[in-house]
Structure 1
């Protein structure tokens, strides 16, 4: 009986030792992995790739580091996808699909597009806080100018202050996040003074584009680029819109083309 107890005691001690060794190996491997990731990040920030980094480079790097790159698309209804369909989705979904078809990238796009929202609405309704909570690696910020220009028209100078406030918040809360700003698509109201409006949508886009460029933020001027794209393809504004304002599947496809054409362009040159 005593011999049996001693055997059981030895087995119990042996089991404890095995467990402790397993715990040690687990924490050692985790520590080494964290050190490796830190070294990769440090080396990456000193590399020529980082200095000439594109959207594609950042997506590949974060996928290698974390297993997945998280992208937030932020803006109005043309970011949410009004006018899109399941077979012809919004530009953010097209971007996610395209990135996931590439080697060495796994991407997840979170849509923070809100119907009818202006920049002031994004701030007052705490949508910026929701983006911060997602802790994304990349943000595409569509500047909501369609709604800032409409019913009633937001003062252009106040819009500049709104954009500055949002960018300051991202810089403070998400210092390692790549933020790319965008204007939105042309509409049927490009050259029309809306009720009580002091500038047209065209003029609004021109002034905000000039402001954003002066800050040297990464910027894609979708409004003007899409107009050029439509001219090249002999498309009318009616052919790319689902209504007076929102793109249809073709329009969102053109929007994505603009992004895809710049996916390998160094971020520093996106302005």
Structure 2
């Protein structure tokens, strides 16, 4: 009987010691990994590259540090991809493909586009919290102005307050995330005062763009850049839209090209 007790006691001691050793090894490994990450972050933030950091620079750095960069694209149906096809996907998918063909980068793009959502909807329906849980390294936020502008039109002052609240939340909860804002595509309604609307979509864009620039947030003004591209290529709206509002595959590809052309541009110059 005593022999059995001794064996059980010895087994318990050995088992406890093994658990302790495993815990110590795990703790040491995590601690060393955190120290390595911290040093890599410190070295990067003191580098010349960081001073002129682009979206590509951040994706390449995170890939080196973590093995993969996580990118979230947030916005409305034109971020989700309404009007896209398997053969001609939405701009977020095209971005993921482009990054994964770029030397030194491995990336996953998480699509958090919501059809019909305004900035107020993103806040009310906890979509901002969902992005925070993703812990993205890069966030590209399409500002939902198509929906803020229509049926009924959200007050521009409230839209500014929504954007300010969202950006404050991200800066507090995601301090290490690189955030770039985007406007969306032109529509058939650019110059039309819609039902219950106070301003046109074009005027709404201009007002919000000025607000974003005043806050010095990185911005890709997709709306005006697409208008310029369509004019240069003599493309009427119906050629790049699947309906009155949403791009077709060609429209999304034009959108992606605008984004791609700015991947290597220092973020501080995106205005």
Give the TM-score taking structure 2 as reference length: 0.90
Aligned residue-pair number: 259
The answer for the alignment partner of 2:50 in structure 1 is: 50
Distance 1:85 1:32, change over 3 A: same
Task: Please give the alpha-carbon distance, in whole angstroms, between the structure 2 residues aligned to 1:198 and 1:224.
Answer: 21
The answer for the alignment partner of 1:124 in structure 2 is: 124
Task: Please give the alpha-carbon distance, in whole angstroms, between the structure 2 residues aligned to 1:237 and 1:169.
Answer: 36
Is residue 2:166 matched to residue 1:177? no
2:260 is paired with a residue whose SS is: helix
The answer for the alignment partner of 2:216 in structure 1 is: 216
Task: Please give the alpha-carbon distance, in whole angstroms, between the structure 2 residues aligned to 1:88 and 1:31.
Answer: 45
Task: Please give the alpha-carbon distance, in whole angstroms, between the structure 2 residues aligned to 1:181 and 1:191.
Answer: 23
Residue 212 (structure 1) shift: 0.3
The answer for the alignment partner of 1:86 in structure 2 is: 86
The answer for the alignment partner of 2:167 in structure 1 is: 167
Task: Please give the alpha-carbon distance, in whole angstroms, between the structure 2 residues aligned to 1:217 and 1:116.
Answer: 25
2:150 is paired with a residue whose SS is: coil
2:132 is paired with a residue whose SS is: helix
1:104 is paired with a residue whose SS is: coil
Distance 1:79 1:40, change over 3 A: same
The answer for the alignment partner of 1:5 in structure 2 is: none
Distance 1:117 1:20, change over 3 A: closer
Task: Please list the CA deviations of residues 91-140 of structure 1 after superposition, one character each: whole Å capped at 9, or x if unmatched.
Answer: 00000010011111110111110000000010111110111111111111
Distance 1:252 1:25, change over 3 A: same
Residue 31 (structure 1) shift: 3.5
1:216 is paired with a residue whose SS is: coil
The answer for the alignment partner of 1:230 in structure 2 is: 230
The answer for the alignment partner of 1:107 in structure 2 is: 107
Give the TM-score taking structure 1 as reference length: 0.90
Task: Please list the CA deviations of residues 56-94 of structure 1 after superposition, one character each: whole Å capped at 9, or x if unmatched.
Answer: 000000111111111111000000000000110000000
The answer for the alignment partner of 2:61 in structure 1 is: 61
Runs of at least 5 residues in structure 2 that lack an aligned partner in the other structure: 1-15
Distance 1:119 1:18, change over 3 A: closer
Distance 1:18 1:112, change over 3 A: closer
Is residue 2:239 matched to residue 1:265? no
1:109 is paired with a residue whose SS is: strand
Residue 36 (structure 1) shift: 1.9
The answer for the alignment partner of 1:136 in structure 2 is: 136
Task: Please give the alpha-carbon distance, in whole angstroms, between the structure 2 residues aligned to 1:23 and 1:155.
Answer: 56
The Cα RMSD (Å) is 2.0
Distance 1:28 1:191, change over 3 A: same
Query: Which aligned segments of 4 or more residues in structure 1 are displaced greater than 2 angstroms?
Result: 16-34
Task: Please list the CA deviations of residues 223-268 of structure 1 after superposition, one character each: whole Å capped at 9, or x if unmatched.
Answer: 0000111112221111000000000000000000011000000000
Distance 1:23 1:164, change over 3 A: closer
Is residue 2:152 matched to residue 1:152? yes
2:112 is paired with a residue whose SS is: strand
Runs of at least 5 residues in structure 1 that lack an aligned partner in the other structure: 1-15
Task: Please give the alpha-carbon distance, in whole angstroms, between the structure 1 residues aligned to 2:133 and 2:21.
Answer: 37
Residue 33 (structure 1) shift: 3.2
The answer for the alignment partner of 1:41 in structure 2 is: 41
Residue 35 (structure 1) shift: 1.8
Task: Please give the alpha-carbon distance, in whole angstroms, between the structure 1 residues aligned to 2:21 and 2:190.
Answer: 69
The answer for the alignment partner of 1:12 in structure 2 is: none
